[in-house]
């Protein structure tokens, strides 16, 4: 069970890095991203620090606000470095 929790935390941290990368690539602040996504600024800050377990609806809002397809939130170097789930 602990392995599953550790993997989940690594995914949250990887998502945090990816959201920040996309936000910076769009040249916007956390406050602007929050406004565009209809979220609170501190919530976006928590996401970028890997402190929030994000609901799917909020992932959709973030992807829309970042002008990126939802699956693109889960690609990039940070995700390729994650260990596999052990299921093949």
For residue 69, give the CATH number of its domain: 1.10.260.40
**Residue 6 in domain:** yes
**Residue 88 in domain:** no
Domain count, the chain: 1
**What global pTM score does this model have?**
0.86
**Residue 40 in domain:** yes
Q: What is the pLDDT along the chain (88 residues), one digit of tens a residue?
A: 678 888 889 999 999 999 999 999 999 999 999 999 999 999 999 999 999 999 999 999 999 999 999 999 999 877 877 766 655 4
How far is 22 from 33, CA to CA, in rounded Å?
10
Residue 21: give the domain boundaries.
2-78
pLDDT of residue 80: 78
User: Quick one: tokens of 54?
Assistant: 């994000």
**Residue 83 in domain:** no
pLDDT of residue 85: 61
**Residue 8 in domain:** yes
**Residue 46 in domain:** yes
Handedness of CA 5, 71, 56, 64 (dihedral sign): positive
Note the residue count of the chain. 88
pLDDT of residue 78: 76
């Amino acid at each position: 069970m602990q392995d599953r929790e550790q993997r989940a935390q690594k995914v949250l941290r990887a998502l945090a890095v990816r959201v920040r990368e996309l936000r910076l690539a769009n040249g916007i602040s956390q406050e602007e991203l929050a406004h565009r996504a209809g979220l609170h600024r501190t919530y976006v800050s928590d996401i970028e620090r890997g402190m929030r377990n994000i609901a799917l609806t909020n992932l959709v809002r973030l992807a829309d606000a970042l002008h990126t397809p939802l699956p693109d939130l889960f690609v990039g170097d940070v995700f390729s470095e994650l260990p596999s789930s052990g299921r093949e």
